[in-house]
Chain A
Amino acid sequence: MSRPPTDDEFAELVQASWASLYRTAYLMLGDAAEAEDLVQTALAKTYANWRRVRSLEAAPGYARTTMVNTAASWFRKKGWRNERPTEFLPELAQETDPSDRPALLDALATLPPRQRAVIVLRYYEDLSVAQVAHALGITEGTVKSQTSDALTRLRAVFGDAVVPQGATHD
């Protein structure tokens, strides 16, 4: 189908892809309102850019790529970096139970935004280093160093049982 989607077709696309996109967005951003805005933005861009999408079948993948690209551009904006990152983990007397839901989200919240996105894309979306680099517009070397740094931080919270020494999943 090369023509733009009908409103009904686009509504089906939104319904089918919304939850998956939102979960990824929420893990990357940690804020419900921002996650909703990010997913809306990605789907709106997908609609606006239909000439490049070309088919309903390809649209979910296009929307997901657009969402990550948009998040990456948000991270690069002035202010975002200053508002979001927590450079130092809280001092913890003992390792935290990662099965405690807020614990993992809290730990993710301590990571700088792009580092957090790298972790989500690599270990939740299961993307390769090259794919993460492509999606975020950074080098593979940066992905590896950001991954290593983030895993070190998470290991400090959850211990080797969750993040073993040397784990990079390259």
Chain B
Amino acid sequence: MTERLASLLRDQAGGVAVPDPSTETILARGRRERRKRRGAVALGTAAAVAVVGGGALATAGLFGGDGEPDAAAVPDSMVGPVFTIDTTVYYGPELHTAEISDEAVKSLFYTSAGVVVRHGENSESDGGGPQRFSLVRADGKVERLGLVTEGTVHASDSDQPYLAYGENRAGSLEVVVYDVLADAEVARIPVTGTEDNWFPLSIDGANVFVQAGHEGGVHVVDWRRGEAAPSDVLQSVWAANGGRVGDYVGDKPVVRDAVTGEVLVTGPPVGYFEVSPDGRYAGLVDEEGSRGGETDEYRVYDLATGDHVTFDGYVFDYGWTPDGDLFQLGEDSVTTCDTATGECTETAVDLPEGVGGEAEPQPGDMCEVNEDGTMGGCHVAEGPRPPEVRLGGRAYES
């Protein structure tokens, strides 16, 4: 009954004068957007944000933390490759399995209580409805947690039993620390006023490093003391582990000591550093590097010595073990790489068909496109599809 209206709309659209696209402008905006997702606003801006809960952290320039790499307090039986294929969790050197009772897995978090699995109705990381959580203990027992969030970025510390996240409550950014052993919220600290709902963060010891939305700058929260203050040093909050934090100096990615702020490693002016779960290593994520058909490579630095080793392959195909090694999945194999030596060992494993191939499963928000460019749908196609894979130690939020 509305064919005439549809026809008129098509006619009108066909008559629209379409300007030429400026690819250079779009690329520049894309690069800025990518950088913005990883690094907060420039220094100085953050310091002007009103302090809530005390200014000691900012005025003293302290980052907190104990300054020592974490002891990888993840249970020993889970220290090895940790990943999920659809809703099956594989963990530890023996690759034991556990089953998550939900539609799809979104991401994995290392804690001292075991592996926390974020799951829900689909595998989307940044949206896609409720985010539910289960704790996989060392003995394989799976406990559904009472925590449910939506559209939220989470972080964990591998030597504590906590998840952290930020949420906007009545116009205030509040950092929440959730005890996965007790299945209860243990801290809620007001940070600053905000109109955003996007708060990337990391938790390391007593500190939570949180970005207060797109323009709100980085804040350091001592969640045990209930204090929060804007950081006058940090530009980025994504990677803090074991007393080390990934940051920027100018346009160069760096890794800082989380107590002194000392720069331990400086990378080339591309990408960013991700810090291993135990804080001993840092991988340089160069999303633009080695493109154009050349071999991908992933450079990993030893933060104690500054030396680095290089691994073949695309960075996002590698996961981190809780003790700072890398691993990746192949077709019926798991390859574990020693980040100290660069040596990799491949182990044959019977994995479901479709794992390790080029055909990556698509997130649920991927739309099908018709030949005329219109959108055919935004739902995951019915029928057989490649298994969804999530790797431990890898952030899937953006």
A-B pairs with beta carbons under 8 Å apart, 13 shown: A3-B290, A14-B26, A17-B373, A23-B18, A44-B27, A62-B365, A65-B378, A119-B9, A124-B9, A126-B374, A131-B377, A134-B379, A151-B2
Main secondary structure of the interface of A (DSSP, over half): helix
Is B362 on the interface with A (CB-CB < 8 A)?
yes
A86 to B144, CA, bound (A): 49
Q: Report chain A residues within 8 Å CB of B362.
A: 54, 58
Contact in complex: A47, B377 (CB < 8 Å) = no
Question: Nearest A residue to B377 by beta-carbon distance?
Answer: A131
Q: Which A residues fall within an 8 A CB radius of B?
A: 1-7, 10-11, 14-15, 17-24, 26-27, 32, 36, 39-41, 43-55, 58, 60-62, 64-65, 98-99, 101, 104-105, 119-120, 123-128, 131, 134-135, 151, 154, 161-164, 166-169
Interface of chain B residues 346 through 375 with chain A (CB within 8 A)? 358, 360, 362-363, 365-369, 372-375
Contact in complex: B26, A104 (CB < 8 Å) = no
Q: Report chain B residues within 8 Å CB of A43.
A: 26, 30
Q: How far is the CB of A75 from chain B (nearest CB, A)?
A: 15
Question: Nearest B residue to A49 by beta-carbon distance?
Answer: B398
A115 to B398, CA, bound (A): 30
Q: Report chain A residues within 8 Å CB of B33.
A: 44-45, 47-48
Q: Which B residues fall within an 8 A CB radius of A?
A: 1-2, 4-6, 8-19, 21-23, 25-27, 29-34, 36-37, 125-126, 287-288, 290-292, 296, 314, 316-317, 358, 360, 362-363, 365-369, 372-379, 398
Contact in complex: B375, A61 (CB < 8 Å) = yes
Across the interface, B8 reaches (CB within 8 A) one of A36, A65, A98, A126, namely: A98
Contact in complex: A123, B37 (CB < 8 Å) = no
Contact in complex: B12, A10 (CB < 8 Å) = no
Contact in complex: B291, A4 (CB < 8 Å) = yes
Contact in complex: B369, A64 (CB < 8 Å) = yes
A7 to B23, CA, bound (A): 9
Question: Nearest B residue to A12 by beta-carbon distance?
Answer: B23
Contact in complex: A54, B360 (CB < 8 Å) = yes
Contact in complex: A55, B375 (CB < 8 Å) = no
- Provided the pairs A52-B363, A61-B367 are in contact, do residues A44 and B26 lie with their beta carbons within 8 angstroms? yes
